[in-house]
Amino acid sequence: MPITIVNTDSLSASANNLRNVNRNINSEFQTLQNKAQIIDNNWQSPAGDAARTAMRQIFKHNEARSSVIRNYINMLEQQVNPGYADTETVNIKLADKFK
């Protein structure tokens, strides 16, 4: 059976890095939404309607993307990292009983 080594500090750092990247992407999308609102107010035509529909879909997909990343971060922080640490603690205690 192969040995699996998990570096919990790296796992935490990766989760924080993902959180920062997600925050930056969301910030850029917010900037785009603000600019899209300006266009909405000034572009009244069938082409403008099509552009608004396309932009709304893009923004909607960003919300879904952001939610997936947040859920992944939560899983890393709340299940994988503590679960690994708890398992290792139990394993160490069990191993100590055989010393």
- Render pLDDT for 29-38 as a digit per residue (tens, 0 to 9): 999 999 888 8
> Is 16 part of any domain?
no
Residue 34 lies in a domain: yes
* Close Cβ partners of 15 (under 8 Å, ≥ 6 residues apart): 73, 76, 77, 81
Q: Give me the amino acid identity at 19.
A: R
The whole domain housing 37 covers 28-90
Q: Is residue 21 part of a domain?
A: no
Residue 1 lies in a domain: no
Residue 20 inside a domain? The answer is: no
pLDDT tens, residue by residue, 10-35: 888 999 999 999 999 999 999 999 98
Q: How many domains does the chain have?
A: 1
Please state the pTM of the whole predicted model.
0.70
Residue 17 lies in a domain: no
